[in-house]
Amino acid sequence: MQDIGNAIDFEFRGRRVVRDRPMVMAIVNRTPDSFYDQGATFDEEPARDAVRTAVEGGADIIDIGGITASPGDEVDTDEEIARVLPTVEWTREHYPDVLISVDTWRHEVSDAVCQAGADIINDAWGAADEKIIDVAAEHRAGYICTHANRNPRATPVRSDYDDVVNTVIDEIVRLAELAESKGVPRSGIIIDGTGYGKNTTDHLELVRRVPEMVATGWPVLMALSNKTFVRESLDLSAEQREELLTGTLAATAIAARSGAAVFRAHQALQTRRTLEMVACINGTRQPMLPEEWIS
């Protein structure tokens, strides 16, 4: 990411993308067992409706996933492709200007969706399949580097971190440098400042210390939406959606104020508005209306 004036500047598959605020990555789960939506967008038509809603809400990126991160029934490569590929193809056809990301750790899935027009590979499992980086390089796609302390979909276990932020930074910077060395365009590499294998205290520390991640020089993604750390911080249940959104947007505002560049979110419109407001406060974005009133 480069700082051009007050703009956030990326390039994915040869397409330059400039924003005066952090980017919104809207989540569309093609899974029957998502922790958040419980399979609401597992079928193709509801998934398309979710894409429409996200784009209308101002999402910059649609992040399509075919396997939940939690342990569960086996989903093989063919099934994962069958879940995500139709949504990628439909989104590419109907929304040619929106960026498409696919949440996968498999290089075969990455190759299939990039051939169908996906722009970004969102690898939430720290290159568990190292060939995934080669696929990103081949297609000159964006690549998201994430710290994960377990194999894909394994039972969650928290590591005993001496310093969770330093551990995360070391790993995601290593992956970013590896991706660049393999030919992934630097302007399309993003580091994820969250990842699996952390408890609530860890996640709060990660949000608090976003400036240290930003200082690496790599653009930072934060995946905060309706996460367990929000529920536990506020003593909420998963069903208390409005309260969870309030907590999520508070964390979003703090991370954006600190310089994070991309936010993965379930609610695109509310996230975009929050990021626009923070950008106005940060001075990277002009208010939409002239200064007509003195208060």
Which domains, and CATH codes, for the chain? 2-282 (3.20.20.20)
Distance (Å, rounded) from C-alpha 143 to C-alpha 129? 13
Can you give the pLDDT at residue 295? 54
pLDDT at 6: 57
Report the pLDDT value the prediction gives residue 5, as an integer from 0 to 100: 43
| Tens-digit pLDDT string for the chain (295 aa) | 434 345 789 999 999 999 999 999 999 999 997 767 777 888 999 999 999 999 999 999 999 999 988 888 899 999 999 999 999 999 999 999 999 999 999 999 999 999 999 999 999 999 999 999 999 999 999 999 999 987 898 887 777 899 999 999 999 999 999 999 999 999 999 999 999 889 999 999 999 999 999 999 999 999 999 999 999 999 999 889 999 999 999 999 999 999 999 999 999 999 999 999 999 999 999 998 866 665 5
5 burial via Cβ count (<10 Å: 0-12, 13-18, 19+): exposed
Q: How is residue 187 written in tokens?
A: 């302007």
pLDDT score, position 4: 35
Tell me, what's the pLDDT at 157? Answer: 77
Supply the pLDDT for residue 3: 43
Note the pTM of the prediction, 2 decimals: 0.94
Q: What is the DSSP string of the chain?
A: -EEETTEEEEEETTEEEEESSPEEEEEEE--S--TTTTTTT-SHHHHHHHHHHHHHTT-SEEEEESS-SSS-S---HHHHHHHHHHHHHHHHHH-TTSEEEEE-S-HHHHHHHHHTT--EEE-TTSSSSTHHHHHHHHHT-EEEE---SS-TTPPP-----S-HHHHHHHHHHHHHHHHHHTT--GGGEEEES--SS--HHHHHHHHHTHHHHHTTSS-EEEE-TT-HHHHHHHT--TT-HHHHHHHHHHHHHHHHHTT--EEEES-HHHHHHHHHHHHHHHTSS--SS------
For residue 40, what pLDDT is reported? 87
Q: Can you give the pLDDT at residue 74?
A: 92
